[in-house]
């Protein structure tokens, strides 16, 4: 790591610490670049680079002509074996969750879905697209696939609540476990439009396989989270 890179990393981490310990409160204005230069004894280039990274990572936001401000706390997403539903997690953080179904239709299973659901290619599959909001700001975009023969009559109104609850109460399908794969991705034109972020913004991509008691896959989904608003916590019990 060169000297300039090390310096802006130090400045960035110091500002993050100040935000987390409450020195810089949510929606308050931060010092100017010139003021940060004096505080840390570094060049404007170093400060500007640190602030650009903080902006991309969602810790701060800029208002044209007014300055740089501290963003709201990121929404915590817990990845544990005994996790609360999305709405419960968000509500526990003092925020308001909501879900909007943007599409629900029956499609033909391709080779991947047919193999996953142990069906034939061309068999009907429910395709569900939803956006989840926190305080009316989009947090995640989800595409879920469910075999139609197990979930006939799936309706939009029910899917704006807990999908797992719908599976249990409407179709008598009990979820036993989920297996999730989390990785980094960048928002393309479609995702940037749905999550209201610039093209190329950092996102978390989460693929989820949902299993019934008999070991069969009842749902497969891919969810894109805004990188500037999501914060994942992984808990392991030993």
Task: Give tens-digit pLDDT for 28-38.
Answer: 999 999 999 99
| Per-residue pLDDT reduced to its tens digit, 79-117 | 655 444 666 766 776 778 889 999 999 999 999 999 999
| 23 compared with 76, residue with greater pLDDT | 23
How far apart (Å, rounded) are the C-alpha atoms in residues 176 and 210?
Answer: 8
Does residue 154 register a pLDDT over 50? yes
Does residue 77 register a pLDDT over 70? no
- Among residues 59, 44, 62, the alpha carbon closest in space to that of 13 is found at 59
Full-prediction pTM beyond 0.85?
Answer: no
Pair 89, 76: CB distance under 8 Å = yes
Does residue 228 register a pLDDT over 90? no
Mean predicted confidence (pLDDT) in 178-187: 87
Give the model's pLDDT for residue 83. Answer: 46
Packing angle between helix 3-20 and helix 33-40, nearest 10 degrees? 100
- Relative to beta strand 175-186, strand 137-147 is unpaired
Question: What average pLDDT does the structure give for the chain?
Answer: 86
Mean predicted confidence (pLDDT) in 168-181: 90
Give the model's pLDDT for residue 74. Answer: 67
Mean predicted confidence (pLDDT) in 214-235: 87
How far apart (Å, rounded) are the C-alpha atoms in residues 203 and 192?
Answer: 10
Q: Which are the contacts of 208, defined by CB distance < 8 A and separation ≥ 6?
A: 178, 179, 180, 181, 219, 220, 221, 222, 223
Of the segments 12-26, 104-118, 188-202, which one has the largest average pLDDT value? Answer: 104-118
- Among residues 140, 142, 163, 170, the alpha carbon closest in space to that of 232 is found at 140
pLDDT band at 131 (very low <50, low <70, confident <90, very high): very high
Give the model's pLDDT for residue 165. Answer: 87
How far apart (Å, rounded) are the C-alpha atoms in residues 207 and 225?
Answer: 11
Q: How many CA within 13 A on the CB side of residue 162?
A: 13
Cite the DSSP H helix spans in 105-159.
111-116, 156-159
Does residue 190 register a pLDDT over 80? yes
Distances (CA, A) of 69 to 35, 89, 131, 228: 14, 26, 27, 14
Percent over 70 (pLDDT), the chain: 89
The Cα angle at residue 27 between residues 11 and 68, in degrees rounded to 5? 50
């Amino acid at each position: 790591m060169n000297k300039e890179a090390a310096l802006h990393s130090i400045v960035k981490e110091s500002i993050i610490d100040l935000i987390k310990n409450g020195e810089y409160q949510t929606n308050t204005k931060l010092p100017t670049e010139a003021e940060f230069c004096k505080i840390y004894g570094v060049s404007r280039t170093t400060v500007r680079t640190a602030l650009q990274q903080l902006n991309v990572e969602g810790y701060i936001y800029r208002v044209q002509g007014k300055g740089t401000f501290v963003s709201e706390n990121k929404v915590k997403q817990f990845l544990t074996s005994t996790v609360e539903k999305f709405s419960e997690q968000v509500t526990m953080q003092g925020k308001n969750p909501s879900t909007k179904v943007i599409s629900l239709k029956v499609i033909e299973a391709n080779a991947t879905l047919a193999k996953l659901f142990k069906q034939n290619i061309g068999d009907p599959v429910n395709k569900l697209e939803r956006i989840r909001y926190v305080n009316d700001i989009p947090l995640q975009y989800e595409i879920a696939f469910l075999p139609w023969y197990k979930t006939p009559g799936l309706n939009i109104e029910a899917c704006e609540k807990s999908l797992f609850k719908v599976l249990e109460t409407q179709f008598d399908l009990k979820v036993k476990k989920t297996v999730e794969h989390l990785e980094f991705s960048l928002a393309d034109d479609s995702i940037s439009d749905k999550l209201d972020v610039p093209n190329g913004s950092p996102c978390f991509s989460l693929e989820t396989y949902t299993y019934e008691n008999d070991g069969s896959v009842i749902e497969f989904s891919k969810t894109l989270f805004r990188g500037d608003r999501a914060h994942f916590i992984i808990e392991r019990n030993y």
